[in-house]
Structure 1
Amino acid sequence: MAKITAGVGSSHVPLLGVAVDQGKEKDDYFGPIFRGYDWTREWEKAEKPDVVVLVYNDHASYFDMNIVPTFAIGCGERFGICDEGWGPRPVPEVEGHPDLAWHIAQSLILDDFDMTIFNKLDVDHGLTVPLSMMFGQPEKWPCKVIPFAVNVVTYPVPSGNRCWAIGEAIKKAVESFPEDLNVQIWGTGGMSHQLQGPRAGLLNREWDNKFLDMLESDNDDVRHIPHIEYLRETGSEGIEMVMWLIMRGAMGKKVKTLHRHYHIPCSNTAIGHIVLEPAD
């Protein structure tokens, strides 16, 4: 059967994609950020995942206010790259795994999660930047990817508790898939940042690291953090961190931390990264 072997959490700051595309990963500004991913890039080469369920949010690149799905899954064969205003990033198109994606969609819907299904979908930096951070600049991404989009752009957004629960349901779905697959689940977005208004540039190192500590814990207190706390402590865009809880919910009760990295700043954003494996 298929099995979720690891969970990865990572920020998906668009400036990191620019740094990769322009070969600036080792300069004075970006070097400390990218060095925090060196361990993970070598680890991924050894792990060789067959499929990554990649939890991300679209930044009004493909979706717009006409359709705002709370949870959406990409079930197509391939996914194009969005033009976010300066042309599509020069990265490979994303190859999906329709059989597993449809299986997950069916399982989630039968478990009472109302999913939106996309057979045609272009993906933006929310998905491509994490791939670049883990895999560099290959001619082809080394694994299949199932895009799992979450609305954290416009209210109402799902609660942390709901995100954790859907992570648990994804774990159940993957483990009931008959093919022998090495599956990882990545939660992306955040950490603390606000892009507009009088608090633009807000960063909260203490709260961000408390959140990472809670992900490492074997209790589930992190799933009950209310929206207002994310907004107050981490800025308007810090709410993206609820997507990390989908990854954590899919890990089971106990986890082992393989790697952790935190850095301020990247643009006006805090960078967080963690690699977990189930320890139950």
Structure 2
Amino acid sequence: MARITAGIGCSHIPVLGFAHDHGRTEEPAFKPAFEGFDWTRSWMREEARPDVVILVYNDHASAFDMKIIPTFAIGCGELFSPADEGFGPRPVPPVIGHPDLAWHIAQSLILDEFDMTIINEMAVDHGLTVPLTMMFGAVDAWPCKVIPLAVNVVTYPPPSGNRCWSLGEAIARAVESYDEDLNVQIWGTGGMSHQLQGPRAGLINREWDNRFLDGLVGEGQDLRNIPHIEYLRETGSEGIEMVMWLIMRGALGARTQVRHRHYHVPVSNTALGHIVLEPSPIASMAAASLESTQ
């Protein structure tokens, strides 16, 4: 059966795409940010290249606008082209989808009482393409198929952290019920603390961000109960994007272990966070033992 083998959390700061595309990754302003992904790129090449990535991100008015605001939307198409965000599409490969798995997940989630919006055609912006660049670098084609999962964190009300965590759990059930042998990763993107406008523009909360990263590791589930107002107060108006990381965490099961972690400020006027998690072998063995006794 298909299995989720790892989860990745990653900021999707648009200036990182600009720096990469214009050959500026070695400049002092950008080098520390990119170096924090060296471990992950090596791990992907040598140990953990996925067949499919379920990539959780938010659209920035490229595919959706105020005419339609889906809370959760899953891309079930065969191909998703880079969006023109005002300066032309990024010079990166198109995203190749996995329609069979995506439709299976959509059906499973809807029958599991999640009201998903099914998207067969949409452009994907920096929210999706920047994480792919950070993980794979410059490539002629992305080395895996990608299922986009867009979450509304732009227009109030966004989903709660608890609902996002529960969606991750439901995604894991859906993947495990798919009968093809696939190595699947799930990525939660966006964040960390940042505010782009108003008197608090440029807000960065290192302490809160790192507590959030701490909470993704191990058995704790405290993160799923953080209220919207705390994200707003402590991490700025755009910090709510971190609820998308909770979809990733919820899909990894009862306990996680960390393989790599990176935090750097500032990048542009935001904080950069990155973490690589795996389901804990102890939790996996316990679940297998429980199944064998039933």
TM-score by length of 1: 0.99
1:84-116 superposed Cα distances (whole Å, 9 cap, x missing partner): 000000000000000000000000000000000
Matched, 1:137 2:118: no
Correspondence list, 1:30-49, <5 A: 30-46=30-46, 47-49=48-50
CA offsets, 1:240-266, max 9 Å, x none? Answer: 000000000000011110000000000
Structure 2, unpaired ranges of 5+: 284-294
Paired letter, 1:195 = L
What residue is the counterpart of 2:153 in the other structure? Answer: 152
1-structure distance, mates of 2:60, 2:239: 14
Q: CA deviation at 1:217?
A: 3.1
Letter in 1 for 2:259: L
Q: Hey, what does 2:233 align to over in structure 1?
A: 232
Give the aligned partner of residue 71 of structure 2.
70
Distance between the aligned counterparts of 1:251 and 1:181, measured in 2?
16
Equivalent residue runs for 1:118-129 within 5 Å: 118-129=119-130
| Displacement after TM superposition at 1:40 (Å) | 0.2
Whole-angstrom distance in 2 between the partners of 1:213 and 1:105: 31
Residue number in structure 2 paired with 1:191: 192
1:1-280 correspondence runs (5 A): 1-46=1-46, 47-279=48-280, 280=283
- Matched residue type, 1:31: K
Task: Please say which structure displays the higher CA radius of gyration.
Answer: 2
Q: Deviations over 1:7-42 (max 9, x none)?
A: 000000000000110111111111111110000000
Please tell me the residue identity of whatever aligns with 2:98. H
Structure 1 distance, partners of 2:171, 2:68, is: 24
Residues 12 and 131 of structure 2 are in contact (CA less than 8 Å); yes or no, is this contact kept in structure 1? yes
Q: Could you tell me how far apart the structure 1 residues matched to 2:189 and 2:26 are? A: 23
- CA RMSD after TM alignment: 0.5
Contact 2:218/2:257 (CA < 8 Å) preserved in 1?
no
How far is 1:62 from its partner?
1.4
Q: Which residue of 1 aligns with 2:287?
A: none
Give the structure-2-normalised TM-score: 0.95
Identity %: 73
Deviations 1:203-232 (A, max 9, x none): 000000000001113110110000000000
Deviations 1:175-230 (A, max 9, x none): 00000000000000000000000000000000000000011131101100000000
